[in-house]
Amino acid sequence: MKPFAIIAAAGAVLLAGCSAADKTEGEAAGKVSVKDAAAKAKSEMPRPEPGLYRTTVTMTGLKIPGLPPEMEGHGAGLTTTTENCLTKEAVANGYGEMVKQGQNGDCIFERFDVAGGKIDAVMACKAQGRSTRMEMAGTTTKTGAEITAAMAMDFEGAGKGTMNFTTKHERIGDCPAGKPAK
């Protein structure tokens, strides 16, 4: 379900290392484990329809400590667009699997609210001695999603910085014959 991985795991690509920890909600002192968030996403978020999806990620802000003034705003407006096919098998677990994808550190959700097609979540991760915290909010439907995210992270050797971005997923049709499914 790669087109939807960015929603909770914008996380996955940009967090550079969170993990599907097996802690339960109680063990995390009131926070929501990745495992519990995945179960909630599967049961409460709309299940995507199979088909061809376009995913567009646009960076809206980047602040890195020590960045020279002439580089201020560098990267803002940078857009990446991909297209992927989602099969019936890929969407069988809805957004549940998406919440767990692309992670290889230690993550927990400080908040994971999904209701009525809306998502409001905060994910905190620690990996390779660094910490990352991402707030995300938006909407999901059977044929797409729009998410705004703000991420605070440690930049090696520079200190804490921020990255803001938007993600838009939209079903643009059926998968063409011969297009590999994701």
Measured CA to CA, the distance from residue 176 to residue 81 in angstroms comes to 18
Predicted TM-score (pTM) of the model is 0.74
Residue 105 has what pLDDT?
58
C-alpha to C-alpha distance for 36 and 26, rounded to whole angstroms: 10
Q: What is the pLDDT of residue 89?
A: 86
The pLDDT of residue 180: 54
SS3 125: strand
CA distance 21 to 28: 10
Out of 31-35, 76-80, 92-96, 139-143, the most confident range is 139-143
pLDDT winner (highest mean) among 19-28, 109-118, 125-134, 141-150: 141-150
- Cα-atom radius of gyration of the chain, to the nearest Å? 16
* DSSP 3-state of 7: helix
pLDDT per residue as tens digits for the range 81-100: 999 998 888 888 777 777 76
